[in-house]
Amino acid sequence: MAEVSKNSVTHQLITENEHGQRLDNLLLKQCKGVPKSHLYSIVRSGQVRVNGRRAEVSYRLQNGDVLRIPPLRVASVEQDVVAGAELKVHLPVVYEDEGLLVVDKPAGIAVHGGSGESFGVIEALRRQRPQARFLELAHRLDRETSGILLLGKKRSALLALHEMFREGAAGGGRRGVDKRYLVLVSGRWMDPLRHVRLPLLKYLQPSGERRVRVAEEGKAAHTIFRLLARWERFSLLEAELRTGRTHQIRVHLAHLGYPIAGDEKYGDFMLNKALAREGLKRMFLHASRMRLAHPLDGSELVVEAALPVALNGFVQGISAKERQEYGEKV
């Protein structure tokens, strides 16, 4: 990806990674800090050209096109403190090939910057891998959730991944994605297997904070829960997503009366304070396993991320204090 200059014209050769993108979307991505209205103006005035000719903002770039961008003053790169933080973020690689990167995202870092976050996983990876020509998120995880996160290293792979996630889990589409999470809830969950089908609706609180609740007018949401272990006060579940709604697992469990341990948004706030004193200082939700068809060759791919040390240690602490009533000894 060519770096836009503030002093001279930039010429960029379009590759397969930009093929099919709208001209305005590519400019918005590359010209950070330049007002959208100004970018549209320079396209319409002919200062931006494709293959030496004027182009509409809606033009879809083709492999081999030569894009001309006039001198522009783009936003300066993040401050040195932020840049240093990005470089220090530890993002273990679970799997990587020419089209796909899978990392084990730690809790406490957003997948991308914005909304009060100076940087996220994608910004950190781009800074850590300056040679990468293309790197984009295929899906999202909540800031507080750890585990499997997929990124496309080729546009063709990214588009295929997006299609798979749209088709839903393996049961909902031939080329879907099977996503599994490990979650510790407050309470004694009794069902070995339970299908939860409760529609979810996004809404805004008066403060402007985004929330989700169960509502008849919401979008269909389906989660399958399997009981792995149960103690006197807690239960360890595996959650399988059949749909991918925002905060789906968190809201389904809270609505059923089994809030996730450490969930500051939908959980039991008094319990969370007590758990923090016992050593649980984050939400106990971890994306542990994903099965999908490889986006480039269609072969089956299974990726796994072990339960983080802090979460595993907390579970071991529960087992030391409470009698385990269900499942293999943890």
Give catalytic residue positions: 142
- In DSSP notation, 278-325 reads HT--S--EEEEEEEEE-TTT--EEEEE-PPPHHHHHHHHHHHHHS---
Neighbours of 122 (CB within 10 A): 17
Question: How many other C-beta atoms are found inside a 10 Å radius of the C-beta of residue 328?
Answer: 7
Q: How far apart (Å, rounded) are the C-alpha atoms in residues 288 and 180?
A: 6
d(C-alpha 64, C-alpha 42), whole Å: 22
d(CA 39, CA 124): 26
Q: How far apart are CA 266 and CA 210, in angstroms?
A: 12
Angle between helix axes 80-88 and 121-128 (nearest 10 degrees) is 90
Contact criterion met (CB below 8 Å) for 38 and 178: no
Q: What 3-state DSSP class applies to 36?
A: helix
CB atoms within 10 A of CB 185: 27
Neighbours of 254 (CB within 10 A): 22
Q: How far is CA 294 from CA 72, 141, 273, in A?
A: 39, 20, 42
C-alpha span between 264 and 272 (Å, rounded): 7
Q: What are 283's two structure tokens?
A: 């939400």
| Gap between the Cα atoms of 49 and 52, Å rounded | 5
